[in-house]
Amino acid sequence: MINQIIKKWFKRPHNAPSAHAVTLPRAEHNVSRKLISVNALKVLNRLHSANYQAYLVGGGVRDILLGLQPKDFDIATNATPEEIKRLFRNCRIIGRRFRLAHIMFGRETIEVATFRASHSQENPHGQQHESGMLVRDNVYGSLEDDALRRDFTINALYYSSDDFTVRDFTGGLDDLKLRQLRLIGDPETRYREDPVRMLRAVRLSAKLGLSIEANTARPITSLASLLNNVSAARLWDESHKLLLAGYAKETFTQLRAMSLFAPLFPATAKSLENDDGTFLNFIQAALDSTDLRARQEKPITPAFLYAVFLWQPVQQRQAQLLEQGMSHNDAYHKAMGHVIAEQNQFISIPKRFSLVMRDIWAMQPRLENRTHKSYRLLEHPKFRAAYDFLVLRAQADEALASTASWWTRYQEASPEGQRSMTQALGKKRSGKRRNYKKRRSQSKPQNS
C-alpha cells in the first residue's frame, strides 16, 4: 500500500523547482485523521473555526507517510502565541529563543508554532550570535516562509485537516522516496544557526534508516565544535532523544564517525582513544540493552547510560588520586564527584540522576567483594541497576563473569539456598583470617 502511494508522489522530475507547493489530494497519500491524535485534531479544528490557517507538520506527517506510528503531533499556524492563548485556556507560552504555545491535554502536549520567516540581524525579533547561531527567532511569516525555515525537507511537509491535502514546498516527498535526509538551504549556514541540527541529522538517520545526503553530511565533522556554543541544559534534553529512543547503538556509532561524540562526552571520548576494546564493548553492550528495553517499552533512566559512559573516566581519575597518596575509598568517591562536575560543563546532569549514577558506581566494589553480609545489598533501592551494570561489565571483561554469575544465581535461589551461599562466603573468609593469623605467628621470633 505505502509503495503504491509513494509512486503517485513523483510525477515530476526530482527536485524540480516550483514556485508553489506540490499538493497531494487525499486520494494520493495515506495521512488519515484516524492516525492523528484526537487532541491535535481539536486544536486544528478550533484554529480553523477562528479563521486561522493551521497544519499538522513535522514528524507527525513524516512518520505517517513512512508507515510509522508518530508519537508527537506538532502544529504550525499563522496565529501568534498570544492569539493562540486566547483560544485555549489550557495553553501556556514557553521559550524566549523560539516562542511556542503548548496546549495541555492531561499527559499529552500539543506544540503549536507560529509560521516563521527569515530575518536580518537588525530585526529585534530575530538575533544571531557572532558565530551565526540564532539566539532569537520570532520573526513571523507565511506558510511558504515557514517551510523554508524548517530544518530538513522531510520535516517540512504540511497536512491540512480542512481539505485533507499534504503540501510540500521543499522536495521532502522526493527525499522520502530516496530515503535520504537533506537540509533545507546552505548546510553550513543552517548548522551555524543551530548546531543541534547536526545531532538531529544523526538521530533521524538512525531512527528512520535514512542516509544523510552528501552536502548535508559534508560540513558536520568540521563544525562539530559548534556544539560547545549550545547550553549544557539543552544538550541534556537532546541526549534523551539521541540515546533513549531505541536506536542508541547506531546513533553512538554515527556520532563518533562524525566527530560529534567528543563535544558531548569529552572524557569518554578520550578514554576510548586508548581503549583495548574492553570499555567500548561495555558501552556497546549497554546500548544494546537500552535499545532492547526501549523496544519492549520498559522503563529507562538516562542515569544508567551516563554511568556507563563515565565509568572508565572515573576509574582513571581514581588512579590519579591514588598516586597522590589518597586512600582507596576517598579516591573513588572523589573521582565520582570530579568526573560528574566536569561532564556538567558539557551536558548538565540534574542532581536526581547524578545521585543514581553515584549509587550504581558505589555498589560495584561491594558487589565484587562478596561477604557473608552481601544479602543486605538486595535491600538497596538501586541494587537492580547496579547488578545490571555489573552484568554488562562482565560481558566485556571475563574476569567478572564468575561474580556476575554468583549474583544471578543468588537472586534465583530459595531463601535456604541464599543462606547456604552466604554462609559459604563467611567460612571462606574465616579460613583466610585463620591462615593469616597462622602465618603471622610463624613469622614472630621465638623467645630463647
The tally of domains found in the chain comes to: 1
CA distances from 321 to 31, 217, 326, 351 (A): 59, 41, 6, 24
pLDDT, average across residues 259-270:
98
| Position 129 in a domain | yes
Residue 54 bridge partners (DSSP):
77
Q: How far is CA 144 from the centre of its chain?
A: 31
Q: Do you know the residue count of the chain?
A: 448
**92 and 68 in contact (C-beta within 8 Å)?**
no
Q: What confidence score (pLDDT) does residue 376 get?
A: 87
| Position 12 in a domain | yes
| Position 8 in a domain | yes
Active site residues: 72, 74, 151
Distance CA 433, CA 438 (A): 9
pLDDT above 70: residue 122 = no
Reference 164, options 31, 322, 347; nearest CA is 31
| Position 317 in a domain | no
Q: What confidence score (pLDDT) does residue 19 get?
A: 44
**Which residue range(s) make up the domain with 16?**
1-178
Distance CA 112, CA 114 (A): 7
pLDDT, average across residues 221-235:
96
pLDDT above 50: residue 17 = no
pLDDT, average across residues 171-196:
96
Q: What confidence score (pLDDT) does residue 375 get?
A: 82
pLDDT, average across residues 62-88:
95
pLDDT above 50: residue 9 = no
The backbone torsions φ and ψ at residue 55, rounded to the nearest 5 degrees and listed phi first, read -140, 145
Q: Which three cell numbers stand for residue 33?
A: 485523521
Of the candidate ranges 91-100, 118-127, 131-140, the one whose mean pLDDT is the lowest? 118-127
| Position 438 in a domain | no
User: Which CATH number belongs to the domain containing residue 8 in this structure?
Assistant: 3.30.460.10
pLDDT band at residue 245, thresholds of 50, 70 and 90? very high
Q: What confidence score (pLDDT) does residue 334 get?
A: 97
| Position 73 in a domain | yes
pLDDT band at residue 425, thresholds of 50, 70 and 90? confident
pTM as predicted = 0.84
Distance CA 408, CA 405 (A): 5
| Position 401 in a domain | no
pLDDT above 60: residue 135 = no
Q: Which three cell numbers stand for residue 164?
A: 485533507
Q: What confidence score (pLDDT) does residue 1 get?
A: 44
H runs (alpha helix) in 154-277: 172-178, 187-193, 196-208, 214-217, 220-223, 232-243, 248-257, 261-264, 266-273
pLDDT tens across 361-390, in order?
Answer: 999 999 999 887 888 899 999 999 999 999
